[in-house]
Chains A and B, each alone.
Chain A
Amino acid sequence: GQNIDQPTEMTATEGAIVQINCTYQTSGFNGLFWYQQHAGEAPTFLSYNVLDGLEEKGRFSSFLSRSKGYSYLLLKELQMKDSASYLCAVRRGAGSYQLTFGKGTKLSVIP
């Protein structure tokens, strides 16, 4: 089976940096995804990691350590519009495109 853990809620200040952690235990692994979801809206794709290390994309970066079953999403220069839920999702072994999502971390950005 698969188990994905993320903090339920986080609060950070506008302009600051925040790190959202995700730990996972899976029977197979073929990539980890981060999605952003504003309340009542569709999840939107942020990043994908399949190899260990850091992937940077503008203000957002994502890190993966496969041996530790650990990933984080780093958001820099926080803006009010970054207030949303951030979903960590794991894809199982080769040939399977099914994603298993964590319950998400609700981030509140305050002035």
Chain B
Amino acid sequence: DSGVTQTPKHLITATGQRVTLRCSPRSGDLSVYWYQQSLDQGLQFLIQYYNGEERAKGNILERFSAQQFPDLHSELNLSSLELGDSALYFCASSVAGQFTDTQYFGPGTRLTVL
């Protein structure tokens, strides 16, 4: 158990809908990262937050957005869902700011868009 929690574990929805994925980082970690993993693409970095502020952006679609709250939990919002958005979504956390900073991953949310 990495100490990172994600809810829900599974999510099934329809095209055009909007969903929210939630992540709570390990105690003491200030940084949260979101990744998408599909069968053919591997783990793709979406976005990073550090202590409530956006730090880095990867291949995140405009239909997706995220935020990190004062208690450091984070939410990833996916809207106007398409079939191709079906994937595993992972959240990771790290202390950030340390040279040997390591990301620890949560169990993931499996999103199925029908």
Residues of A within 8 A of B (CB): 31, 33, 35, 40-45, 48, 50, 87, 89, 96-104
Within 8 A of A (CB), among B22-57: 31, 33, 35, 41-45, 48, 55-56
Query: Could you tell me the distance between the alpha carbons of A103 and B43 in the complex, rounded to whole angstroms?
Result: 7
Given contacts A44-B2, A102-B42, contact A97 B31 (CB under 8 A): yes
Q: How many interface contacts (CB-CB < 8 Å) are there between A and B?
A: 60
- B interface residues, tally (CB under 8 Å): 29
Chain B, Cβ-Cβ closest to A87: B43
Prevailing SS type, chain A contact patch:
loop
Query: Could you tell me the distance between the alpha carbons of A87 and B101 in the complex, rounded to whole angstroms?
Result: 17
Say which residue of B48, B96, B102, B105 sits within 8 Å of A42 (CB atoms): B105
Neighbouring B residues of A96 by C-beta, 8 Å: 56
Residues of B within 8 A of A (CB): 2, 4, 31, 33, 35, 41-45, 48, 55-56, 58, 88, 90, 94, 96, 99-108, 110
Neighbouring B residues of A102 by C-beta, 8 Å: 42
Q: Is the CB of A42 within 8 A of B2?
A: yes
Neighbouring A residues of B55 by C-beta, 8 Å: 97
Chain A, Cβ-Cβ closest to B45: A98
Chain A, Cβ-Cβ closest to B104: A45
